[in-house]
Structure 1
Amino acid sequence: MRSSRPLTGRGRVFVRVAIAFVLLVSLGGGLGLAVEGFEGRAALRAGPVGSLVPTDRTCGKESCTWIGTFTSADGAVTAHDVELRDATDVGRGAPAPARIDGVRLAEDAGAAYTADYAWHGPVVNGAVLALVGLAVATGLVLMLRRHRTTAASARTAGYA
């Protein structure tokens, strides 16, 4: 059985940079998704109730999101440029509703959530992204160790 060639200095550096990149992206992205889900949960439990008047929309690849002005039911809280997060997909050509009632404002006033917002999805997706990233990084670390032991055994056998 023939073993693989040992990694060169550049190869080891590349694998280490890849490990750092995978960890940064997966843990950062996973944490960001989970925070969004928990923020939505907190807003749905204790955020001020009110309405959102859409003034604009921001669109991604598949759907759009309403951006507008939130006003609490008692008129005490007003927030501008609030992003609405809900379970309804908004098309690019969909007309803006006059007002969306029954939304709750997040603590940072950057987002409002409707009652149909499923906060479980972002939390689960964030956890899965973090776990997959950790698995990939672990695989890269094990590959780096295997190549390191292969190089050491080749040197002791006199092949290098």
Structure 2
Amino acid sequence: MCFILLFGVGGGAALAISATDAYRATSDGVPGTFTAERMKSSNRGAHWWIGDFTSDDGSVRLADVRLSGVDPDSGDSPPSPLSTVASGDPDTDRVYTTSGRPWLKPFTGAVLLLLGCPIGSVLLVLNLRGWRKRQAAR
């Protein structure tokens, strides 16, 4: 039960932070251009573009940032420079496309984990208590 609770709280918090960062960047971030240089892959088969971001006014330059919101297929050629937004934080590791709502998926996942895991833990405990009572009655 504790593992389920820790998983839900930890995973939900991480997704909530990701959703907050994406929302802040898309709502009042620094507009600019992302130029993809290479594709990076994870061991789980996910792919994303890595490249450089330059703000429209030239004041913010970010190297080796990840492009969120564009999921490439393995073997794709890099997209042409895209209009994107960044949070403006010099330590940021990703930029977001100007179209869509990149914060929606992590926000939904955070809500499901933060609500589902505690509810699942309570249901598990109640089910185990009922099972113990039935075993003791035999």
TM-score scaled to structure 2, two decimals?
Answer: 0.81
Q: Does residue 134 of the first structure (1) align with residue 115 of the second (2)? A: no
Kindly provide the amino acid, as one letter, of the partner of residue 86 in structure 2. L
Secondary structure of the corresponding residue to residue 120 of structure 2 = helix
8 Å CA contact 1:70, 1:79 repeated in 2: yes
1:105 match? 86
Q: Report the CA distance between 1:62 and its aligned residue.
A: 5.6
1:18-97 matched pairs, under 5 angstroms: 19-60=1-42, 61=44, 63-86=46-69, 88-97=70-79
Q: Report the CA distance between 1:132 and its aligned residue.
A: 1.6
> Alpha-carbon deviations, 1:101-148, whole Å to 9, x = none?
x21112342110111242222211210122221122112322454466
Structure with the bigger percentage of strand: 2
Give distance in 2, aligned partners of 1:120 and 1:54.
24
Percent of residue pairs identical: 30
Give distance in 1, aligned partners of 2:60 and 2:68.
18
Which has the larger Rg? 1
Give distance in 2, aligned partners of 1:24 and 1:148.
25
1:116 match? 99
Question: Structure 2 unaligned runs (5+)?
Answer: none
User: When the two structures are aligned, how many residues end up with a matched partner?
Assistant: 134
Kindly provide the amino acid, as one letter, of the partner of residue 136 in structure 1. G
TM-score scaled to structure 1, two decimals?
Answer: 0.71
Secondary structure of the corresponding residue to residue 68 of structure 1 = strand
Q: CA RMSD in A?
A: 2.3
Give distance in 2, aligned partners of 1:81 and 1:21.
35
